[in-house]
Structure formats: C-alpha cells, structure tokens
Chain A
Amino acid sequence: METKIETAELKLTAKDFVTDQDIRWCPGCGDYSILKQVQSVMPELGIPRENIVFISGIGCSSRFPYYMETFGMHSIHGRATAIASGLKATRPELSVWIVTGDGDSLSIGGNHLIHLLRRNFNVNILLFNNEIYGLTKGQYSPTSPQGKITKSTPVGSIDHPFNPLALCLGADATFVARSMDRDPVHLREMLRKADQHKGTSLLEIYQNCNVFNDGAFEIFTEKGSKKQETLFLEQGKPLLFGQNNEKGIQLDGLKPIVVEAASANNLWIHDVHDLSKAALLTRFFEGAETENHLPRPFGIFYETDRPCYEEVLQEQIEIAVNAKGKGNLDALLSGNNVWTIS
C-alpha cells in the first residue's frame, strides 16, 4: 500500500478550495483569516483535492470543514483526533488535517490529543486557541487564565490553565509550532511547514474571539506591543526581539534571560532539533505583569523524525504476509485441528 502522500503539478487556486456554503462565523472572528490562509496554502502543496481530508470536532473552529472544498467530516466533541487516527491508519496516502479548538482538543478531547501525538500519525493538527468557549457562548476554557471572569465563573475561574505546547511536547510531539490569526504571512509559512513535516504536526494558532474574549492576544498582535512581546523563532538564528531587534535571549545556566543584543556575545541560537531548549521555549509563557517576563515565541519550537504509526502498522502486515503468505480464508476457517466425520 502507498503510504506516501502523492504530490503533483496541479493548477489549483485558493478559489478551488472554497465551498458553496455561507460562512456562519461571527463577523470579525479570527477564523476567517485562518480559513483564508489555509485556502491559499492548499494549492501550493501540490496535493490533489480529493486526497485532502479535513476532520473537526465540535466548536466554532470545527465548522471549518464545511468551508473547505475537500473531503471533510464535522464529527463529535473532542474526537476528531481519534477519527483521523483510524482514517490515517487505513489510508496513509491521504493528507489529513484536524481542525480543533482549545476546548475540543484540550478539555473533552485531551486524551486523544496526547495519544495521537505519541503515536505520531502523519497528520496536521490546527489548534485554534481563543482561550474561551465560543459556541456555548462564553464559558472559560482550559487555556483561559486563572481568575477569568466568564458566565460560568462570575468571580473568576479557579482552574490553572494548560500550557498547550508544553503539554504537547510532553506527549512527545514531533512537530510543535505556534502562529496567530493576525499574521497571515507567518501563518501561511507555518501551514506549509506543518504539511512538510512527516509525523504529527501540532500548530497552535492564537485566534481572537471578538465576541466572548476580545483582545486575549492583543499584546502579541497590536502594533504598539507586538515587537516587544513576541519572539519569532527562525532556525539557526539568534533569539531577537524588540522594536528594532535590540533585545536578545541568552541562557544563564538553564535560565533564559533578556539581554541587550548589541553587547551580548552568547545569544541563544534557535535549533528546532534541540528538545531541551524547545522545552524551555514552551515555558516562555508568563503574563506581562510577572517579573523576568519573556516574550511569547512564535514559529517552530521543535521538530524531529520518528517513525509514523501507520507506516509501522503497514510494515507489520507486510512482514506477516512474507512470513505466513497472504491470508487464506479456507485455512483460517478450518484451523489446525480438523476431524472428519464420514
């Protein structure tokens, strides 16, 4: 069986990925931008449209497949990851994309997410994180900051939030990246990279819910603060940020510190293959009010090669066929201990 995803020269455009369905997200929702970037990247991937599948769970983001002119399934809450596992196990040649939100993948579907990551099916997960439950109209989510006032937490949420990328790295994800709805160029780049990675690609996308959690990621997206508060990771390049990249990150033992880039001689050089450093990067997570505040990283945190589940599954079948021959149904029916009554 073909386990590789077929690519070819196809003359497709973003429009070929638009469906006839009216989009029903709230005006101003960050999902529009993400949809647009996905539709524009798809033609570049060189994958025939019929070989692309979008699978989602439940939530605002999970309406996504209805708007993609590919094969799609809008499934049930939290289970897109498990459905995709079964599909990919049996159809390794398909390009499978999972669209999920912070509630869908980290709350009700948390279990399936971590298990998909450790198994490393070659699929792409787009985790739209808006730190709120949108479809159910505004309860706190597993990524909402502690103390969040919502309809279900009128005096503030007690839950300590998940750090999604630290969680995914902890589950031995082989590709961990972050982008945002308001940076189309970066988002498109991350989508391409996610597609290119062989294994499970986990792309967290900060997405603004302008109705129930407007401005959750403002400091990373607005002109006034973006340069100070974000850190764009690039392979082989030093960790720089600030209005004119005047600041850098350096390691003091295992502790990352902010230094003046010009006077520093030992800046942290980003290496996507360094798991220990990736783990530190996922911890650049505190709010701006904390001491030793670090900018929030965007880009690929970590990438590694590990065999994909579906390939090894297929290999085991081939080994069994080579050892025992292709299954013979009559031999299976009779078994090894037959007696005849004549």
Chain B
Amino acid sequence: MAVSDEIKKAVVILFAGDSGDGIQLAGSQFTTTAALYGNDISTFPNFPAEIRAPQGTLAGVSGFQLHFGSVKIYTPGDHCDVLVAMNAAALKANLKQLKEDSIIIVNTDGFDPKNLKLAKYNNGDNPLKNGSLEKYKIYEIDVTKLTRTCLADSGLGTKEMDRSKNMFVLGFIYWLYNRTLDNTLEFLHKKFKTRPDLIDANVKVLKAGYNFGDTTETFTSRYHVKPAVMEKGAYRNIMGNQATAIGLIAATQKAGVTLFYGSYPITPASDILHELSKHKNFGVKTFQAEDEIAAVTSAIGASFGGSLGITASSGPGIALKGEAIGLALMLELPLVICNVQRGGPSTGLPTKTEQSDLLQALYGRNGESPVPVIAATSPSDCFYMAYEACRIAIEHLTPVFFLSDGYIANGSEPWQFPKSSDLLPIKVNFAKEKSPDSTEKFLPYKRNEKMVRDWAIPGTKGLEHRIGGLEKENETGNVSYDPDNHELMVKIRSERIEKIADYIPLQKIDAGKESGKLLVIGWGSTYGAIKTAVKEAIDEGYSVSHIQIKYIHPFPKNIETLIKKFDQILIPEMNSGQLIKVIREKYLVDAKGFNKIKGMPFTASEIKNKLLELLSAS
C-alpha cells in the first residue's frame, strides 16, 4: 500500500497519558522541532495538581496540546486532529476534544482490564473493541511491548525501559508529520550526558518509533505542514513564565539596577523563580523566602536600598501579600508583583487557568490604595509586559501588578525576540547627595511634574530620613494625623497613579474598523481565542472589531472615545465578569459579558458563536 503525502494548513496534536509518562517532554520536543522548521505554533500543557496521581486514573491524566501550522496560529487549538492516548484514562478524559475524523493513536497496553477499570469503563468494556470509536481513525500500537522488545538487549530494567515509551510515540509522530529527528537527538545527548546507556536507549526507541511508521503498512497518509509565512527575522520558542523572567532581567539591566526577587514557591508561578535563579551572572539575586509575606517584604527592603524588588505568586499568595503592597504604595517605592493567576478562590484549582484575580489586583487592599495593573496577552507578550511593569515601577516609584495566568505562563509560542538596543530606556531617578553647605532640609516626598519623588536610598550623604506606613505629611514624610492632610494624601496617591496614563501607549485596535456594530474587548490571555474568532468573522463580512486591553489601571486615555463608536460591546473573560464591572462603572456603557469559569481557556469557536449570536440578534 502506498503512503500518500497530504498537505495540511494547521494541525492540533494532543499527547495524553499518565503524569509519569513523559508527555510534557514529548510535547515540548515536538514543539521545538516544529518551531525550528518554521511553523507558527502555540502550546498548552494541561497537567494534574498531584505530582504523581495514581497511575492509570482519570485524575492522573497529563496532556500537552500543540497547534502548529503554515498559517498564523494564535491559540493551542479548539479541537484535536490527533490524540495520542497512552492509556484508557487518557482516551476517556480527552474524547470530547476530538473532531469526527480525528486520528487516535493508542498504546494498546494501556487498555488492559486493569487500566480499563481504573479509567472507569464499565465492566472492563473496552472502547477499542466495542465500536464506540468508529467515527475516528484509530491506530492501535502496543507501544510498551515494542519499546521493551527494542531494548531487550540494553541491560535496562523494565521500569527504565518503560520510561522511553514517550520516545517511541514521538518518533512515530515525527514520521507522520515528516519531521527530522535531529533536534531531539541533540537534546537526548545533552540531557543524558552522564548516562550513555540512556542516550543509546532513548535514541534507539525514538528511531524505532519513526521506522515503525515507515515499515508497517497501517498508515496510508503522511502529513505535511509547511513553514508559516512569518515576518522576517530571528525567532526562538518561548514559554510565558520564561518570558516573564527574561523581561524582568532585561528591564533591570536597561535601568542599571540590581534585580532582587523575593519569592515563595507556588504553582503556576515557581518557574519564574527557577528561570531567574539560572541567571546569577546578571547580578540577579533570588531569595526563596520563608513565606509569601517575607517574599514581598524582602523585595520592599531591596527596593528601599535602590534595587528593584520583585515578587511573584498566584492568587492565594497574592492575598497574603496585600498588606505589604499597601506599605510599598505608602512608601512610594518601586515593586513589581507578578500574579500568575489560577483557578480560585482559596487553594482552588492550582494547575488550571483563570482570570479571576483582576479585582483583587485592583482593589484587594485596605484603605484606598491604587496600584497600576497591567496584563500580558500571550507567552511572548509576558516579556514586554513584565518589562513595562518594571519601567512603570521604577519611573513612577510605585508597586505595579503584572498579571499573567496558567494558560500563557505554561504555554509557548515562537517569538521574534528584540535586540536589547530596541528596548525602551528606563530612567532611574536617584536623589543626589546633599552638599555639606546646604542648610535646606531634605524633603523625601517632594514630587516632580510626574508626581514622582526622588528615590532616596541609604548610603547617600545628607538624605537621612524616615518613611513608614503611617499616614505622612506631604513632602516631609513626617507622621501626620491632620484631617486635611489625610484627604490630600489620599488624592495625591490616586492622582499619581492616574497620571501614569500619560506615559503608556494609547489603545490600539487589534482587528477590524474603528467603528461598527460590535467591539470585542478582551484582556490578558484571551487574546488568541478572540483574535482568531474576530478575524474569521471579519473575513466572513461581519462588522466586528477587537481590542485587547493590556494597561488596565490606569486605562489608556483613548479607551472611552474608542468604545463609544460601537453599537455593542462584548467582554469575554475567564471569570464571572470582572473587567466588565470596571468598564461599565467607568464609561457607563451597556457591555455584555461572556464568561467561562471552567479552569480552561476559551476556544475560538466559543467566542465566535457568541459574537455571531450578538450580531444576529441586533
């Protein structure tokens, strides 16, 4: 039987198996290979909260979804073209993700009576045998057996052999999509540098998987996804948390200040700490604090000393940091707080994504305590918005919230990275030493035209002064209980932050015309799904536009004029309606919400259906 080559514009593959099956590794290897080949790509890992949930169970299923194409890709894809299911649970958990003609590649060893029972198939009713999967193209491969046979002479134990199963599957997928093994071969040589036996084993199994496709006659088609037409330039692949870390380093390097990162491990923010601690040669100081409170307060201490104090966490940790963030805004010191949001409230859904901490960032402190809030829209955008958070913090001496979420933090995409010389300069304004003849008293809270004070750091002669969390007298910083002064200070703190609107970019329309029937307003990680949906609708002739708000407090100054040119406004959010409250309150518009609170990102088709519904009703 001849194998034909079929051209595809875009493909979504979902690798799924036990969390110990090496699913994430296989997925990220395919990602890098596809990216190096020139495809546009977007990925989304989906893993359980437990490190090793019981094997074979639905709770233990780990997934890695990747969407690659010869066209622009904005999301990890709504539905899968290919599902790789390493066991019965992986199949069951992901079946609803499939389209009618999807390919399912199953490891038959994962469908023995024990696995079927763990996956809760009634009485061991095997989906591979009962005809329920008829509408899909099923390929049954006994990956376990083939891997073991391949490694029979390797001298490895069964457990160690089985760990290479993911390489068999990966090799096979490489064959199916006409990819070379080069990138993964190089990776394996690096990863197992000290264990040549494991290099040999993994390489052997990877090649066996590839050859299996070549030699067996089960498969009638191989697929070809050509490189995407992308802007000329140099690219790399980047994950959101990694981009955040690099953005923080880049900003402090450009500003010429030390980066101090106080942090307490928490899912899904810990990778920022891991990434930063690799870059000590940039003078980066990472501090794994005893708790979330020490993480933020140590960062405040560092900022007091003239470094940029940064802390990151997720919702529950941010809740603990609230009081300290209030202190930083009273002190008027720079501080960057990264919140990689996850499902809440309380411990909530640690490994699932949500946008439910926006109101916490805006209002979650005692007293009237305004803080700038900005949000990243994609994995690579985490770089730019983390950079912006640092710029605003340093140039306006204020705590700044940088919002990301589990979806973009763990997702990845190709990134046309900038040159360091192209990055905006960041101006640091340290207060200067007082001359010995000066009799003038130093005023720590004297502000310039931006309403920003000088950053007066210890070690500067003549600037000895005290700052604190108690209400202070304007300019002198002395403790003051004066009623008029308090009102003045509350207003100054608010105006100071509003003033930042003069120093951020105006809101751009991402797609569509400047006026029309419907404007879709998104913020944060909903960007890709909205972008895809709106683009399709525009192509189909609908009057719809899209803006993605990245600066949420303060808003860009043109938002009001912009949104008032549309008949209807739709605000999709992965929460029960938070940005919509702010927009309605601030601009008195009748915006409609579209909310998904499932711990999962929107699919483009969900948004498209919603906007078509609004357009057809009007």
User: In the complex, which of the residues B227, B281, B301, B460 contacts A87, with contact meaning CB atoms closer than 8 Å?
Assistant: B301
B191 to chain A, nearest CB (A): 13
The CA-CA distance from A52 to B466 in the complex, in Å, is: 12
Residues of A within 8 A of B235 (CB): 338-341
Does A26 make an interface contact (CB < 8 A)? no
Are B300 and A86 in contact, CB atoms less than 8 angstroms apart?
yes
Does B334 make an interface contact (CB < 8 A)? no
Does B48 make an interface contact (CB < 8 A)? no
The CA-CA distance from A87 to B238 in the complex, in Å, is: 32
The CA-CA distance from A19 to B282 in the complex, in Å, is: 39
The CA-CA distance from A55 to B32 in the complex, in Å, is: 49
Q: Mark A309-324, 1 if CB is under 8 A from B, else 0.
A: 0000100110111011
Are B461 and A332 in contact, CB atoms less than 8 angstroms apart?
no
Are B327 and A340 in contact, CB atoms less than 8 angstroms apart?
no
- Chain A residues 77-93 with CB under 8 Å of chain B are 79, 82-91, 93
Residues of A within 8 A of B260 (CB): 86, 89-90
Are A327 and B237 in contact, CB atoms less than 8 angstroms apart?
no
> Taking A111-B290, A327-B279 as contacts, is the C-beta distance between A82 and B301 under 8 angstroms?
yes
Q: Mark A10-32, 1 if CB is under 8 A from B, else 0.
A: 00000000010100000000000
Residues of B within 8 A of A112 (CB): 290, 293-294, 297
Are B294 and A94 in contact, CB atoms less than 8 angstroms apart?
no
Residues of B within 8 A of A325 (CB): 281
Does A294 make an interface contact (CB < 8 A)? no
User: In the complex, which of the residues B284, B297, B467, B468 contacts A86, with contact meaning CB atoms closer than 8 Å?
Assistant: B297
The CA-CA distance from A115 to B309 in the complex, in Å, is: 19
Are A85 and B327 in contact, CB atoms less than 8 angstroms apart?
no
Total chain A interface residues with beta-carbon distance under 8 A: 59
Residues of A within 8 A of B300 (CB): 75, 83, 86
User: In the complex, which of the residues B227, B289, B460, B461 contacts A82, with contact meaning CB atoms closer than 8 Å?
Assistant: B289
Does B246 make an interface contact (CB < 8 A)? yes
User: In the complex, which of the residues A48, A86, A91, A93 contacts B299, with contact meaning CB atoms closer than 8 Å?
Assistant: A86
Are B461 and A50 in contact, CB atoms less than 8 angstroms apart?
yes
Are B281 and A333 in contact, CB atoms less than 8 angstroms apart?
no
> Taking A50-B459, A333-B250 as contacts, is the C-beta distance between A320 and B281 under 8 angstroms?
yes
Are B464 and A70 in contact, CB atoms less than 8 angstroms apart?
yes
Q: Mark B271-290, 1 if CB is under 8 A from A, else 0.
A: 00000000111111101011
Are B305 and A91 in contact, CB atoms less than 8 angstroms apart?
yes
Q: Which of B99-107, B160-168, B414-422 interfaces with chain A? A: B414-422
Are A337 and B237 in contact, CB atoms less than 8 angstroms apart?
yes
User: In the complex, which of the residues B233, B299, B464 contacts A49, with contact meaning CB atoms closer than 8 Å?
Assistant: B464
Does B231 make an interface contact (CB < 8 A)? yes
Does A342 make an interface contact (CB < 8 A)? yes
Residues of B within 8 A of A115 (CB): 289-290, 294
Are B465 and A334 in contact, CB atoms less than 8 angstroms apart?
no
The CA-CA distance from A339 to B461 in the complex, in Å, is: 51
Residues of B within 8 A of A49 (CB): 464
B366 to chain A, nearest CB (A): 11
Residues of A within 8 A of B236 (CB): 334-335, 337-339
The CA-CA distance from A52 to B248 in the complex, in Å, is: 29
Residues of A within 8 A of B418 (CB): 333
> Taking A86-B287, A337-B236 as contacts, is the C-beta distance between A53 and B458 under 8 angstroms?
yes
User: In the complex, which of the residues A74, A93, A327, A338 contacts B283, with contact meaning CB atoms closer than 8 Å?
Assistant: A327
User: In the complex, which of the residues A51, A53, A87, A340 contacts B233, with contact meaning CB atoms closer than 8 Å?
Assistant: A340
A-B complex: 6 closest residue pairs judged by Cβ atoms: A86-B301, A74-B468, A86-B298, A327-B282, A320-B280, A87-B301
Q: List 20 A-B contacts (CB under 8 A).
A: A19-B466, A21-B479, A71-B465, A74-B467, A75-B327, A76-B327, A85-B294, A89-B298, A90-B285, A90-B305, A91-B458, A94-B305, A111-B294, A327-B249, A329-B250, A330-B420, A332-B250, A332-B282, A337-B236, A339-B38
